């Protein structure tokens, strides 16, 4: 709050001077039309009343009050959140949903009775749910910052993942690895919005991406890379079954 004194002499303000000896007591005489009436009672030779002392909001607060929207369509929570950041978050939401959709298609494929790789089906189902959770977390963040979530179209994924040379398991894992790298690239682009956001005083978006996504994305890339390497070494057919057994131990049905 801003303390302002009106119509007061320099001597009457002496007890506000940090270098001056403070009075032993201060009496507040209540309020009048001009504000609080304050005077020094003891330990001071000046007994003149200090009139016109009022409290006002900081000028900075007044500026922020002017920025509070009055129309119901505008967000009240939005502050230092630029349009480019809002658009980038919406784009990442779309990326996460598309990847989730592809993984759900992989789950359906490996869950067929004539494919019957239940471990891989479980793995891709959980991967799909995880990507959806990422999208929902971004949606919550968008709302928290005062942006508007704008959902976009989702591309229809493949329904067949068999490959003449690689086999279905290796082909699906290589595709999954490519999707995880694509997601990581998009996250790095989202994190790069920090350069724009920082100019507007917003570094929270970069911290959110670093804390919630980047580390987890690197771990996912490493895990799927190992599955790809194993499938390439053992070959398709029985090799698929060997790797499937290992995945089944980690992701099999209970």
Q: Which residues are annotated as a binding site for Fe cation?
A: 96, 131, 134, 180, 217
CA atoms of 28 and 177, how far apart (whole Å): 74
- Residues 49 and 39 sit within 8 Å (Cβ to Cβ): yes
Neighbours of 78 (CB within 10 A): 15
* Alpha-carbon radius of gyration of the chain: 32
H/E segment holding residue 54: strand 50-56
Residues 169 and 244 sit within 8 Å (Cβ to Cβ): yes
**Annotated binding site: which residue ranges?**
96, 131, 134, 180, 217
List the one residue out of 124, 1, 139, 123 whose CA is nearest residue 57.
1
- d(CA 196, CA 206) in angstroms, rounded, equals 11
β-partners of residue 56 are: 2
Task: Find all residues with CB under 8 Å of 237, minimum gap 6, and list them.
Answer: 167
Place of tokens 């303000």: 13
Are β-strands 50-56 and 25-32 bridged in parallel, bridged antiparallel, or unpaired?
A: unpaired
Going by their DSSP bridges, the two strands 50-56 and 35-42 should be labelled as: antiparallel
């Amino acid at each position: 709050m801003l303390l302002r004194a009106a119509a007061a002499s320099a001597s009457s303000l002496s007890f506000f001077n940090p270098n001056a000896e403070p009075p032993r007591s201060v009496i507040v005489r209540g309020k009048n039309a001009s504000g609080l009436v304050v005077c020094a009672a003891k330990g001071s030779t000046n007994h003149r009343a200090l009139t016109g002392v009022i409290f006002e909001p900081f000028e900075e607060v007044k500026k922020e009050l002017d920025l509070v929207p009055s129309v119901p369509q505008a967000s009240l929570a939005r502050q230092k959140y630029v349009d480019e950041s809002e658009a980038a978050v919406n784009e990442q939401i779309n990326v996460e949903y598309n990847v989730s959709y592809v993984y759900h298609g992989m789950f359906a494929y490996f869950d067929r009775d004539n494919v019957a790789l239940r471990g891989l089906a479980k793995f891709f189902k959980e991967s799909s749910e995880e990507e959806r959770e990422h999208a929902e977390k971004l949606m919550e963040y968008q709302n928290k910052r005062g942006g508007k979530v704008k959902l976009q179209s989702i591309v229809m994924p493949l329904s067949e993942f068999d490959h003449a040379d690689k086999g279905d398991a290796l082909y699906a894992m290589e595709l999954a690895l490519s999707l995880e790298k694509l997601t990581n690239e998009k996250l790095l682009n989202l994190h790069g919005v920090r350069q724009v956001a920082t100019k507007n005083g917003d570094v929270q978006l970069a911290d959110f991406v670093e804390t919630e996504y980047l580390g987890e994305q690197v771990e996912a890339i490493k895990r799927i890379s190992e599955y790809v390497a194993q499938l390439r070494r053992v070959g398709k057919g029985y090799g698929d079954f060997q790797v499937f057994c290992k995945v089944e131990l980690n992701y099999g049905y209970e």
